[in-house]
Structure 1
């Protein structure tokens, strides 16, 4: 009996060690995948604030909460199962689907750019003005729907990057890593967005303090945050275009259509060598610029094609 008990304890200890090793593998893989997706996460953070510009302060956090909930649904209920199924049965389809999503981002960004250049300004996000009779709840629902739709494309890129990093792992490990990345990225993105859009309220609170320096900082936040939010709205449009263009450029390289990807890569390398002090930033900027120019061209073609079809 004692011998059997010792053997049982040995088995339990072995299982515990195996579980600990598996958890270490999952956490390490999730960390690597999240790091590789950081660029898209930053773009996602830049895109989202424009959806709450123009709403009353008491509706900002509820709107962000609705978008965050939609983002979790996108990642866990749509993208995670789809990624696992595609990885198991149709891995060849992942890149074309991502390219279609990238084309949609280019289209949406270019459409907003066209409206902006054409003088059709909307306080909330650059879209055409909404009818005066439209209910605030309907406007909010439309904004949330648009944000969740855009999030689906950006989240697909994040999940694809994460999946590529764990492609050799078991299906269970892939599922756990994707779920961890989905939850951490969503919490990080929308936590930062919530902090950004409420920074003016924090500034208002600080401006009422007795300490002169704190009061000055608060006043600076109150005056500066509207400018920051408008800037983020513009950056969000640019981010959609350069992320969409970048997805398509990577897809072209995947299918062996390398002239454009190589041109952008070589230009980025040349910029890094020319400016060694800021080589990383210079390389990123040139790549983003090249992808953005290509994204504008793709988006403009789609916008123009749709206008021709309507006519």
Structure 2
């Protein structure tokens, strides 16, 4: 009897160790996948605040909450099941789909560069809506649609990183990544959109130091938003280009990845210290260059197709 109890306790201990190891593996995989999705996360953080512009400050946080709930629905109810079905029945499609998403990121990043250098604006002006409730609903639905695209990229990147894991592990990792990134993104967005209000409140009372801090926050917010937008554009090009380079390598086109890898190794080896950082920077720059080139080609194609589609419509109106 004691020996049986000891054996049972040994089994329980073994199961506990296995469970702990599994939790560690899931946590590590979720953290790694989240890090790889950083570029999309930065872009998501940069894009979302514009959906509360022009609305009452009292409605900013409720609107962000609605968008966050929509984002969770996108990730857990739509994208997570689709990702698991894809992984179970068509794992060969993960890399091509991921590359399609990477190309979209490159396209978006290139368009933002074109706008920054005076190459046109691709955003469509919003219709004027007099009813605040209708305007809010329009903003929320638009933000959730945009989030679906960005969330699909995040989930695809995470799925590609755990594609060889058991299906249960994949589901847990994707759920953790989806929830963690949603909380992080919309928590930061909420802080960003209320930062000027916090600064204004501090500037209106308290000590001279607090008033100075408040004025500093109010003045700094436009700069912060510009920095976030710039970092978001760079991250899209870097991440999108990297996805295309690594995907091409997996599909048998190894030379872009090899060129960037050899350049990063050579740059890192040329310095007596900081070689790893330099190698990473060279890799990121190489990926971003690929992203700019691919994105620029796609942007030109999309713009030309748009012009061709508008010409028949304009001709029809003229007649």
Q: Does TM, normalized by the shorter one, top 0.5?
A: yes
For the residues of structure 2 that align with 1:188 and 1:299, how far apart are their CA atoms? 28
What's the counterpart of residue 304 of structure 2? 308
Matched residue count: 299
What's the counterpart of residue 256 of structure 2? 260
What's the counterpart of residue 69 of structure 1? 69
Structure 1 residue 10: Cα displacement:
7.2
When residues 244 and 214 of structure 1 are mapped into structure 2, their CA distance, relative to the original with a 3 A threshold, is: same
What's the counterpart of residue 136 of structure 1? 135
What's the counterpart of residue 299 of structure 1? 295
Structure 1 residue 221: Cα displacement:
1.4
What's the counterpart of residue 52 of structure 1? 49
When residues 255 and 269 of structure 1 are mapped into structure 2, their CA distance, relative to the original with a 3 A threshold, is: same
For the residues of structure 2 that align with 1:140 and 1:87, how far apart are their CA atoms? 31
When residues 104 and 259 of structure 1 are mapped into structure 2, their CA distance, relative to the original with a 3 A threshold, is: same
Trace 1:114-129 onto structure 2 (pairs within 5 A).
114-118=114-118, 120=120, 127-129=123-125
Q: Determine if contact 2:267/2:275 at 8 Å carries over to the other structure.
A: yes
What's the counterpart of residue 91 of structure 1? 91
When residues 282 and 208 of structure 1 are mapped into structure 2, their CA distance, relative to the original with a 3 A threshold, is: farther
TM-score (norm: length of structure 2): 0.79
Q: Indicate whether 1:153 and 2:153 are aligned.
A: yes
For the residues of structure 1 that align with 2:4 and 2:93, how far apart are their CA atoms? 49
Structure 1 residue 28: Cα displacement:
0.8
Trace 1:1-311 onto structure 2 (pairs within 5 A).
17=13, 20-47=16-43, 48-53=45-50, 54-56=53-55, 57-118=57-118, 120=120, 127-132=123-128, 136-137=135-136, 138-161=138-161, 163-164=162-163, 167-168=164-165, 170-275=166-271, 277-310=273-306, 311=308
Q: Deviations over 1:19-61 (max 9, x none)?
A: 5335413321222123323434432342123331344444443
When residues 208 and 198 of structure 1 are mapped into structure 2, their CA distance, relative to the original with a 3 A threshold, is: same
What RMSD in Å do the two structures reach over aligned CA positions?
Answer: 3.1
Q: Determine if contact 1:45/1:192 at 8 Å carries over to the other structure.
A: no
When residues 201 and 38 of structure 1 are mapped into structure 2, their CA distance, relative to the original with a 3 A threshold, is: same
Q: Determine if contact 2:129/2:135 at 8 Å carries over to the other structure.
A: no
Instruction: Classify the secondary structure of the residue corresponding to 2:209.
Output: helix
Q: Determine if contact 1:49/1:229 at 8 Å carries over to the other structure.
A: yes
Structure 1 unaligned segments of length 5 or more: list them. Answer: none
When residues 65 and 17 of structure 1 are mapped into structure 2, their CA distance, relative to the original with a 3 A threshold, is: farther
